[in-house]
Structure 1
Amino acid sequence: MSMQWQIQEAKNRLSQLVKKATDEGPQIISVRGKPTAVVLSVDEYERLTKPKTRLTDFFKESPLQDVELDIERSTDHAREVEL
């Protein structure tokens, strides 16, 4: 369960804020009554930011994996452009 902290209280009780974020979950910090920031445990942050799949696995599982791409460079001469 998230708890909301006013910025001044969060500054005064930073140790408690960090402990609650670690033990109880995200803690919301408000400025003038408006939610402004969230303090998360490192575990929660890593869970949220960790990619769901590795990039190589993503490409291997792509439905377009068997599509052949034409990657040859055009040998046409550049066109003149009047500026």
Structure 2
Amino acid sequence: MLTSPKDTNWTVAGAKARLSEVIERAQSSPQTITKNGKPSVVVVSAEEWQRKTARKGTLAEFLLDSPLRGADLDLERQRDEPRDLPL
């Protein structure tokens, strides 16, 4: 249950009983639901979720922008024999 209006932590029982309030408060700040006294899930607004999960470019762009690009790393593959696995 919430202990004060600014509190953002809920028990599972409290969140179930006041789900509309959890959702309403999640529009302005993340709401944490605890289970057995430990944080279990966080409820955030759809807008916040989209912002956090939006792709920020392609893998190629990420690799091209890498600070390791041009670092002349030795990435030679080991040529060990395959290991025997039990059947």
Paired residue for 1:41?
45
Instruction: Answer 1 or 2: higher relative contact order, Cα 8 Å, separation at least 6.
Output: 1
Q: Which among 13, 18, 24 is matched to residue 13 of structure 1?
A: 18
Q: Which has the larger radius of gyration?
A: 1
Gaps of 5+ in 2: 1-5, 71-87
Q: How many equivalent pairs are there?
A: 63
| TM-score of the two chains, using structure 1 as the length reference | 0.62
Moved over 2 A (4+): 54-64
Contact 1:25/1:40, CA 8 A, preserved across alignment: yes
Gaps of 5+ in 1: 65-83
Aligned Cα root-mean-square deviation (Å): 2.1
| TM-score of the two chains, using structure 2 as the length reference | 0.59
